C-alpha cells in the first residue's frame, strides 16, 4: 500500500504510459474497443477502490494540484494547434457541414436529456454535459467541462465509459457507410467532396527534448496566470472561477496559435502526455460507486448518436451535403483529431487535411458547447431526492 506522495506519482506516470505503449507496440484489438486513455482510467479507478494507496492529506493535495493546474495548461497547448486563419480556407461548404453537425448534436443532446430527465435528477445530468464537450471536441474538453461544473470523479467514469463504447460503435458505422456514398449523394443532390480545394497543413518541425521542457513550463505558467486573473472576474450561474480559468487558458492558446511561436514543435506530444496524466489523476480520486448507472448512460449515448444521425441526414438533404463530408464532420466531433484523418483517408486521401482541421475546430468549440449544455441541463433538471 502506498502511503507517500512520490510512489503515488510514480505509479500514475507508469500506468499513464503503459497502455499507450502497449497499443503502439502490439496493435491489440482490445484498444479498438477501449482506447488506452479509458483503460488507464478504469485500471487506476480499480486500484483506488482496492486501496492501493492511502488518501493522506499530502496525496489529496497532490491530486488537487495535479488536476487543477494541468487542465488549463492542457487546453492552452491544444489551442496552439488551432490557427483560425486556416479554417477560413475551408470554404462555406465544409464549414456549413461542420456547424450543421454541431447543431445536430445540440438537438440530440437536448432531446435525449428531456427523454431521460426523470432518471437524471440532481447532479445525474452532469455526465451528459461533460460528454457533450467530448462529442464536439475531445477528452480534454470533457475534463474541462467536468472541472468547470464541479462534477464528481465518480460521475466522470460514467461519461468516459459512455464515450468509449458509443464512439467505438460509431466509428464502425461511419467506415461501413462508405459504399452508400453514390446513392446518398444522388438523394441529397450533393457535389463530390473530392472537388474541394487542397488545404495545406502547417508543419511544426522535429521535436527535441528542449521543446518538451519549454512548452511544459509555458503551459504551467499560463495555467497559474489564468487562475490568478479568474479570481478577480465576476461569477454567476455556471460561470465561476474555474470556468474563467479554463476560458482564459483557451484564449491564450488561440492567441499564441497566431504567432511564430506556434511553429515551435512539441505541443502535440506534450499535450497528449499531459492529457492521459490528468485522466490518471482524476481516476485516482474515484471509485466504482454508482457503476450500476452505467447502462442508462450508455443507452442515452446511443440515443444521442441516433438522433444526431437523423438530424444530420435531414440537413444534408436540405443543404445538399455529400456523405463523405457528413461522415468526416461527424467523426471530427465525436472522435477527435486521432480518428478523423483515418476515416478521411478511407474516403479520399485529399480529405485528410480537411478532417484534421475540422477536428481541431471541434477542440476550440468543445468546452463552450459543453458549458452551454450544462447551463441548459442544470436549469431544466429535476431536483434530487
Got the DSSP string for 176-209? HTGGGHHHHHHHHTPPPGGGSPP-PPPP-----H
In a domain, residue 211? The reply is: yes
Question: Using CA atoms, how far apart are residues 222 and 72, in angstroms rounded to an integer?
Answer: 8
Query: How many alpha carbons fall within 13 Å on the CB side of residue 283?
Result: 30
Inside any domain, residue 99:
yes
Cell of 315: 440537413
Residues 315 and 322: their CA atoms lie apart, in Å, by 11
Q: Which of 107, 44, 71, 8 is nearest to 312 (CA)?
A: 107
285-299 pLDDT, tens per residue?
765 555 566 889 999
For 284, the enclosing helix (H) or strand (E) is: none
pLDDT in tens, 3-39: 888 898 999 999 999 988 998 888 787 777 677 877 8
| Of 275, 355, 287, 256, residue with least CA distance to 42 | 287
Task: State the distance between the two ends of the chain, measured CA to CA, in whole angstroms.
Answer: 37
Q: How far is CA 288 from CA 49, 118, 120, 324, in A?
A: 7, 23, 18, 40
- Angstrom distance (rounded) from CA 58 to CA 56: 6
The answer to whether position 78 is within a domain reads no
5, part of any domain: no
Instruction: Supply the pLDDT for residue 269.
Output: 84
**183 located within any domain:** yes
Q: Does the structure show a pLDDT above 90 at 116?
A: yes
- Position 190 scores a pLDDT of 86
Domain of residue 147, residue span: 83-264+289-380
In a domain, 12, yes or no: no
- Average pLDDT of span 37-43: 80
Residue 173 lies in a domain: yes
* Cα separation, 329 vs 327, whole angstroms: 6
Q: What is the DSSP letter of 338?
A: T
Q: Which residues pair with 256 in a beta bridge?
A: none
How many of the other CB atoms lie within 10 Å of CB of 1? 8
Q: Summarize the confidence of residues 325-352 as an average pLDDT.
A: 80
How many domains does the chain fold into? 1
Amino acid at each position: 500500500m502506498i502511503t507517500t506522495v512520490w510512489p503515488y506519482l510514480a505509479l500514475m506516470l507508469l500506468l499513464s504510459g503503459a497502455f499507450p505503449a502497449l497499443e503502439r507496440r502490439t496493435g491489440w484489438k482490445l484498444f479498438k474497443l477501449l482506447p488506452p486513455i479509458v483503460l488507464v482510467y478504469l485500471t487506476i479507478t480499480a486500484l483506488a477502490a482496492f486501496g492501493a494507496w492511502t488518501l493522506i492529506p499530502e496525496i489529496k493535495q497532490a491530486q488537487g494540484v495535479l488536476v487543477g493546474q494541468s487542465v488549463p495548461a492542457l487546453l492552452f497547448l491544444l489551442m496552439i494547434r488551432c490557427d483560425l486563419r486556416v479554417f477560413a480556407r475551408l470554404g462555406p461548404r465544409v464549414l456549413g457541414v461542420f456547424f450543421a453537425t454541431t447543431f445536430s448534436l445540440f438537438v440530440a443532446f437536448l432531446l435525449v436529456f428531456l427523454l431521460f430527465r426523470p432518471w437524471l435528477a440532481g447532479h445525474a445530468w452532469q455526465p451528459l454535459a461533460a460528454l457533450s464537450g467530448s462529442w464536439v471536441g475531445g477528452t480534454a474538453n470533457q475534463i474541462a467541462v467536468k472541472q468547470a461544473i464541479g462534477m464528481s470523479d465518480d460521475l466522470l467514469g460514467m461519461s468516459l465509459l459512455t464515450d468509449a463504447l458509443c464512439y467505438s460503435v460509431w466509428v464502425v458505422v461511419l467506415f461501413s457507410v462508405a459504399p452508400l456514398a453514390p446513392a446518398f449523394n444522388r438523394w441529397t443532390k450533393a457535389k463530390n467532396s473530392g472537388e474541394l480545394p487542397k488545404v495545406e497543413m502547417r508543419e511544426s518541425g522535429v521535436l527535441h527534448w528542449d521543446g518538451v521542457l519549454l512548452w511544459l513550463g509555458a503551459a504551467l505558467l499560463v495555467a497559474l496566470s489564468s487562475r490568478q486573473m479568474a479570481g478577480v472576474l465576476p461569477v454567476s450561474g455556471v460561470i465561476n472561477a474555474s470556468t474563467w480559468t479554463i476560458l482564459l487558458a483557451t484564449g491564450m492558446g488561440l492567441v499564441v496559435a497566431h504567432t511564430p511561436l506556434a511553429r515551435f514543435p512539441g505541443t502535440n506530444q506534450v499535450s497528449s502526455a499531459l492529457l492521459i496524466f490528468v485522466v490518471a489523476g482524476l481516476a485516482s480520486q474515484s471509485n466504482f460507486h454508482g457503476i450500476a448507472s452505467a447502462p442508462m448512460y450508455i443507452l442515452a449515448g446511443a440515443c444521442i448518436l441516433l438522433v444526431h444521425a437523423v438530424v444530420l441526414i435531414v440537413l444534408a438533404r436540405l443543404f445538399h451535403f455529400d456523405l463523405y463530408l457528413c461522415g468526416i464532420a461527424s467523426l471530427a466531433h465525436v472522435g477527435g483529431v486521432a480518428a478523423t484523418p483515418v476515416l478521411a483517408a478511407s474516403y479520399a486521401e485529399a480529405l485528410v487535411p480537411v478532417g484534421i482541421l475540422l477536428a481541431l475546430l471541434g477542440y476550440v468549440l468543445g468546452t463552450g458547447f459543453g458549458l452551454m449544455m450544462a447551463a441548459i441541463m442544470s436549469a431544466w433538471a429535476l431536483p434530487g431526492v
